[in-house]
Structure 1
Amino acid sequence: MHPATPDLSFGDLTPEFMLDALDAAGLRADGRLLQLNSFENRVLQVHLEDGRVAVAKFYRPARWSDAQILEEHAFAAELAAAEVPVAAPWTLADGTTLFHFQGQRMAVTPRQGGRGPELEDPEVLRWIGRLLARLHVVGRERPFAERLHWTSAAPARTARDWLMANDAIPPEIAPGWDDAAQRCLDAIQAAFDGLPDLRLTRLHGDCHPGNILWTPDRGPHFVDLDDAVMGPVVQDLWMLLPGEPDAARLQLHALLDGYEQVAEFDDRELRLIEPLRTLRMIHHSAWLARRWGDPAFPVAFPWFGTPNYWLDQTAKLREQLEAMKPKDAPPALARDEDFVDFDGDGFA
C-alpha cells in the first residue's frame, strides 16, 4: 500500500526546456545533454559552446526553500575558497547561484570527473579522512541557520509520523513496525541526550561512496552537498564503512588515522553510529513513500512498500534496538590504541 502522493515527475523538464533555462542563465549549450544518476533532483551533464562542460541541477519542487539551497551554495563556496575540493555552483546571469526559470530552480557547477574510491585501500581511506577533516574545519566556523539538524531523533520521528498518518504501511504490519520504530526513536534520543556537550558542525550530510569521486592525481573530491546538515562529524564517517563488523573496524581506523592528522575527533561520537544508522533507515522509508508519485521511483524500487519490505524493515529495526543498547562504544568499532599503524599492503 502506498499513500497518495503528488505528481513529482518533472514532466516539464524536456530537453528543450532545460536548454532554454541554461540560455536564460547565460550559458549557451551546444545541444549535447547527458542525464546523470539522481533520484532526488534532475541532473544532467551539459557541453557549452565555449568548450566548458558543466553539470546542471534542477531542484525537486518544495523540497528545500531558496534560503536552504543558498545556504548550501554558500557553504560550497567557503569550502572552495579554503581549497577543499568540491564542486561549487557558478554565479549565473541574474547574479545568484540559484536561477529561477518558469517555476523551476537550477544550479550549475563545473563537471568534475572521477571514479568511485577504493575503500578497501587504507591509504585511500586516510586521504578521505583528511579531506573530511578539512571540510569539518571549515564547517565549524559558523552554524547553519536554515539547513536541517541531525542532532536528535526528530528527523526520524517526523518520518515515522508521516508514514503512519498516510497509511503507508500495510495495516496488518503497521502495529509491529510502529512499535519497533517508537522504541528506536527513544533509543536514538537517549543516545543524543547522553552527549549533552556534543560539538555540532556543518556536514556533507550524505557522505556515501557515490558522493565521493577519485582521481589518481587529485585524490578524492565531493560532488554533492544537497543534504548538508548540522550534526556530529561521525555522520560523515559511518556511511563509508562496510556492514561486516571486522572490516568496518579496520576501515574506521584508517579513516580516523587520516582525520586526526588534520582535526581532533571525539571518540564518544562512536556511540552515535548505530543511532544515526537507525535514524537513516526510518528516514529512508519515508523518503521512498513521499516520492512514490514520481514515476521513476516505482521503476527503480519495485520492492518498496510490499508486505515483505515492511516485515524486513520491522526485523531490522528490532536488530538495531540491540545494536543501540548503551555501551562505551560499539564493540566492532571501538578504538584500539595498540592498533593504529598500517603498512602499504593492508592492515598490520
Structure 2
Amino acid sequence: MSEFSFANLTPDFILDAVESISIYPESGLLALNSYENRVYQFKAEDNRRYVVKFYRPERWSDEQIREEHQFAFSLEAAEVPVVAPIKIDGESLFHFQGYRFALFPSVGGRQFEMDNLDQLEVLGRYIGRMHSVAGATSFSYRPTVNCQDYLHNAKAALVESQMVPMHLETAFMTILEQLIKKTEQDYYQVDQIRLHGDCHAGNILWAGDSLMLVDLDDCRQGPMIQDLWMMLNGDRQEQVIQLDTLLSGYEEFNSFEQRQLNLIEPLRAMRMVHYMGWLATRWQDPAFPRNFSWFATDKYWEQQILALKEQFATLHEPALRLIP
C-alpha cells in the first residue's frame, strides 16, 4: 500500500470499517484537524459520540501502536486524565482492508491557556502524575527522542525534497549545519522515561473543571523535560516564572532532575529542524500543499534562516534556572 493512499478513505469505506467492529454511525462524518492521520467524529446509534482515527500507513508498526494504547490504558488506570482508545472484545487496534484504525470517545473542552499560571500549575501536577506512572516501565518498540531522527534524518529529508529555494540554499544549509553541530554537543544523555512526546497546548483540553491530555500518537522514550518545555513562551523572565509554576505542581507527584533544564534549548532546536523535515517528508500527501502552502514560498525559508540563527545564538546563552 502506498504511504499516501488516504484518498481511498471515502465516506462509505470509513463507515464500512466502523461497522466492521459493530459500531453503527447515525450521523455524518465530521473531519477533525489532523494531518499525520485521518480522524473523524460521528454519533452512533447508541447515542454516543465517537472519534475514529485511521493511522497513516507505514508510519508505525502494530506493536508500536499497541504500545501507545497500552500507555494510555496504564495512565487511565492510574486516574491520569487522558483520552484512551476504546476496547471491543479486548482489542483496541482494528484492521479493515489494509488500514489500521482505533476508536475513541469524543471529548470536548476549551483550549488550554498557556499564559494562565493557575492552569500551568494544574498541568504540572498532571504531567508529574503521568511521569510517575510512565517511569515504572519502558517502551520496547516506540522510538526515542534522539539527534539522528530529529536532526540528521530531518536534514536529509530537506535535502532530498529540494524545497529550499536555490538562491537561499547556501545560507540555509550553513546555519542548519551549525545548529545541528551545536545541538548535538549540548544534548547529552539523561534518564529516559515514557513520554507524551508532543505535549503542547493543542493537545491539552479543559473538559468541565478538569484538564484532559489528548493524542499520544507521538509517545516515545526521552527526557522528562520534553513534556514540559513546550509550555514556556515569552521572554526569559516570563519563562522562568512559567517553569517555576510548572515544576511546583510537577514535584508534588514526581521528582525532577534539575540538570535537564540544560536540554530545553537543544530540544527546541531539534523540534524546529524536525518540523521542517516532517513537512518535507509529507509534501507528497495532497493535504500538505493544501494546508501548508507557505512552506513552498521564499518568505518562509528566509524566516527560517533568521529563526535558526536566533536559536543558534540562544544555544550559546546560559540555560534557564529557577529563582532560588
**2:222 corresponds to which residue?**
231
Displacement, 1:326? 6.1
**2:118 corresponds to which residue?**
123
**Normalised TM-score (structure 2):** 0.94
The letter of the residue matching 1:200 is Q
Displacement, 1:154? 4.0
2:84 maps to 1:88: yes
Displacement, 1:258? 0.6
2:29 maps to 1:25: no
- Supply the distance in 1 between the matched residues of 2:217 and 2:236 (Cα, whole angstroms): 29
For the residue of structure 2 that corresponds to 1:271, the secondary structure is helix
Maintained 8 Å contact 2:186/2:266: yes
Maintained 8 Å contact 1:22/1:28: yes
- Deviations, residues 97-118 of structure 1 (Å, cap 9, x unaligned): 1111112110011112211122
Identify, as 1 or 2, the structure richer in helix.
2
Displacement, 1:132? 0.4
- Deviations, residues 130-162 of structure 1 (Å, cap 9, x unaligned): 000111111111111211211445421111012
- Supply the distance in 2 between the matched residues of 1:122 and 1:7 (Cα, whole angstroms): 42
- Supply the distance in 1 between the matched residues of 2:148 and 2:184 (Cα, whole angstroms): 5
- Supply the distance in 1 between the matched residues of 2:288 and 2:40 (Cα, whole angstroms): 18
For the residue of structure 2 that corresponds to 1:172, the secondary structure is helix
**2:240 corresponds to which residue?**
249
Q: For the aligned residues, what is the CA RMSD?
A: 1.7
User: Structure 2: any 5+ residue segments left out of the alignment?
Assistant: none
Change in CA separation of 1:73 and 1:294 when aligned onto 2, cut-off 3 Å: same
For the residue of structure 2 that corresponds to 1:44, the secondary structure is strand
2:292 maps to 1:301: yes
Displacement, 1:19? 0.8
Identity %: 43
Displacement, 1:175? 2.3
**2:206 corresponds to which residue?**
214
**Normalised TM-score (structure 1):** 0.88
Structure 1 residues 198-207 or 245-254, which shifts more?
Answer: 245-254
- Supply the distance in 2 between the matched residues of 1:253 and 1:305 (Cα, whole angstroms): 39
- Supply the distance in 2 between the matched residues of 1:26 and 1:272 (Cα, whole angstroms): 47
Maintained 8 Å contact 1:19/1:31: no
2:147 maps to 1:149: no
2:176 maps to 1:176: no
- Supply the distance in 2 between the matched residues of 1:156 and 1:64 (Cα, whole angstroms): 20
Change in CA separation of 1:121 and 1:269 when aligned onto 2, cut-off 3 Å: same
- Supply the distance in 2 between the matched residues of 1:153 and 1:259 (Cα, whole angstroms): 29
Maintained 8 Å contact 1:9/1:293: no
**1:114 corresponds to which residue?**
109
Relative contact order, CA 8 A, sep 6+: which one is greater?
A: 1
- Supply the distance in 2 between the matched residues of 1:98 and 1:154 (Cα, whole angstroms): 26
Displacement, 1:83? 0.9
**1:55 corresponds to which residue?**
51
1:317 paired residue among 308, 313, 320: 308
For the residue of structure 1 that corresponds to 2:166, the secondary structure is coil
Maintained 8 Å contact 1:31/1:47: yes
Aligned residues: 323
User: Structure 1: any 5+ residue segments left out of the alignment?
Assistant: 1-5, 338-348
Maintained 8 Å contact 1:32/1:46: yes
Change in CA separation of 1:242 and 1:99 when aligned onto 2, cut-off 3 Å: same
